[in-house]
Amino acid sequence: MSKVLTELATIIEQRKSADIEESYVASLHAKGLNKILEKVGEEATETILAAKEYESGAHSGESNLIGETADLWFHTMVMLSHLNLKPEQVLMELEKRFNISGLEEKASRQN
C-alpha cells in the first residue's frame, strides 16, 4: 500500500477515539455508520459531477476532480475504519483480480 494511504489509515484509526470537538474523524464515528455513508454518497456524487466537468473541458476540472476523488477515498477509508476493516483488505482484493479479465471476474461473482 502506498505510504500516503498507510499513514492516512493510521491517522484515521488514531482519531477514532479522539475528542469529537477536535477531530472531524471522531465526530463522524460518533454520529455512526449512516452519517459516514451519507458522506460517502455525497462525495461519490461530487466526484461524478467533477468527472463530467473535467470531460467537458472546464478550466478547474482537473484539480476539482482530484480533490473530490481524494474526499471520496478519505470518507471510504473512514467507513472501512468504522467497520473495523483495513484498506489493505481492499487492495488485496484488487490484487487478486490482476490476472482475471473484468468479464471473467464479474461472471465469477454471479455464481
The domain that contains 81 carries what CATH number? 1.10.287.1080
The per-residue b/e assignment along 99-111, b for 16 or more CB within 10 angstroms, e otherwise, is eeeeeeeeeeeee
All three cell numbers of 46, joined, read 461530487
Q: What percent of the chain is predicted at pLDDT more than 90?
A: 75
Helix ranges (H only) for the chain are 3-15, 24-31, 33-55, 61-82, 87-96, 102-109
All three cell numbers of 52, joined, read 463530467
**Residues 23-59: tens digit of each pLDDT:** 999 999 999 999 999 999 999 999 999 999 999 987 7
Please give the tally of structural domains in the chain. Answer: 1
The amino acid at residue 33 is L
> What rounded mean pLDDT belongs to the chain?
92
pTM of the model: 0.86
Long-range own/partner contacts, residues 85-90 (CB < 8 A, 24 or more apart): 86/9, 87/1, 87/5, 87/9, 88/1
- Are the beta carbons of 26 and 15 closer than 8 angstroms? yes
Segments forming the whole domain that contains residue 63: 3-109
All three cell numbers of 79, joined, read 467507513
Q: What is the largest CA-CA distance in the chain?
A: 48
